[in-house]
Chain A
Amino acid sequence: MASGRAPDDTTPPDDLATRQLPLTAIEGPAWRVYPGNHRPLHFNRQDGRFNDPQQQYGVLYAANTDVGAFAERLLLAPGLIKGPVSVANAASVPVSATTLETFSLATITFAQPLTCVDLRTPSGLTQIGAGPWLLQAPHSLSKQWSRPLFLNSSAPEGIIWSSRAGHNILSLGLHERTKPKITAKGLGPLIGHRRLLADVIRQFGLVITPG
């Protein structure tokens, strides 16, 4: 935490827009799960961990793997479904078969490496005046950090951090300024990606309900 700030201060430091950021070059591809009736390349201006509260620029959210993209976009927390009699106490997370038919997978490729604020490590978070809490906090809090990072003099093209879903998933939030440098290719509905589905089931205890 920067000097002069209270230990429980969750707002961005005043000098964040001019502070030296922990930057790293990220190469693609990245993966995205999105409603199949939308475009695979979409910069969300409203809802997400590092969206601009003023909605003046959009952010495209993706992950470093297809499993990560699925987990970030669709997974719920376990606790609703109890394990069946043969697998007592197994954590299960439900997803409807309709979701797997209506949501699609896309791959995002970069024309060149993108310079991103690297929040994967405690030192990176400390450098911007935050801590691991920033990646676990409600979005109403984390969104406040988007704009000063976006406006930093180094003009970062996005942010990379470790997903709250765990499992070594890396989340990417690419600013709208990267649009000329990235390409998205829709790969069809999730239900057709059998290896991906099986991996999500193995890692997260996903159960697929009919309808």
Chain B
Amino acid sequence: MSHRQRSTNASRAPRRRGTGQATLVLSASDVLYTPVATLVEQAKEPLRRAILTRFLRAAGSAIGSASTSTLTKAASADSDVTAVLATLEASIPDPRSATDEEVIARAQLRGLDARQQVLEAEGGTLSAEQMARRLHLTRQAVDLRRRNHRLIGLPVGRHGYRYPVWQLGPAGIWPWVPQVIQALAPHDPWQQVFFLLSPHPDLEGESPLNALRAGRIDEVVALARTYATYGLG
């Protein structure tokens, strides 16, 4: 694909020109112009080009097959990523007729949205720098507390770690935080947080976090240990 800037009074609709090799022409005023130009620039590197090809193929298929209802809902999403995920997910066949790999792919797509929901839950999360400021510590000291299992840090890829703000009380980190981390030790930080924020059948459907806030610390630590070594059943 090549791109070419046209005068601002040219047609805004992308169109193909010539009778041989198709050339896509976009007006600079077209909302597609900047993202497409960025993609073309990035696609000069072979690996990025290969992934971009698959991205575009999947996106084209998803957008082409999406219902108006799906597109309307996706367009109203809060973020670009959410809009893309919603459109892609709708393009995967119904779980009852989908292959195992399609079902897993859909669950992974939904997992991206779920992860965002968890990052925003119960007051959201802080960066290491923000957590350091709140605790009057250095960033390195916050990192050390995470590695020593005294504070939950959620790994978010190249962005490092996000620290759930609900770990903080009026006097710093709640004393129960290291206790529940230790009790949930076989699990990674994400699964630990899923446990703490999900309704629990033995807490009258309340989440362990809310029970901790209500002072039911020994009870929650025992339930955390049971989940870690046995499960909920």
Contact = CB atoms under 8 A, between A and B. Distances in A.
A92 interface: yes
Q: Which 9 A-B pairs have the closest CB atoms?
A: A198-B100, A96-B190, A98-B188, A209-B111, A207-B110, A79-B199, A76-B198, A198-B103, A85-B73
Contacts of B156: 211
A46 interface: yes
Contacts, number: 165
Interface in B59-110: 70, 73-74, 76-77, 82, 85-87, 89-90, 95-96, 99-101, 103-104, 106-108, 110
Interface stretch (B25-33, B47-55, B112-120, B138-146): B112-120
Interface of A: 35, 44, 46-49, 61, 71-82, 84-87, 92-99, 102, 136, 138-140, 163-165, 171, 194-195, 197-198, 201-202, 206-211
B149 interface: no
Contacts of A201: 95, 103-104, 106-107
Contact of A209 (B99, B190, B200): B190
A208 B107 contact: yes
Contact size range, B: 35 or more
B104 A75 contact: no
Given A94-B111, A195-B100, A202-B103, A211 B190 contact: yes
Interface string B189-233: 011001101111110010100000000000000100110111111
B85 A84 contact: yes
B114 A194 contact: no
B199 A194 contact: no
Contacts of B74: 85-86
A209 B121 CA distance: 15
Given A77-B199, A198-B104, A211-B154, A96 B231 contact: no
B186 interface: yes
Contacts of A99: 187-188, 190-191
B121 A76 contact: no
A117 B201 CA distance: 25
B118 to A, nearest CB: 7
Given A207-B110, A211-B115, A98 B104 contact: no
A84 B83 CA distance: 10
B46 interface: no
B230 A210 contact: no
Nearest to A77: B199
Contacts of A96: 187-188, 190-191, 194
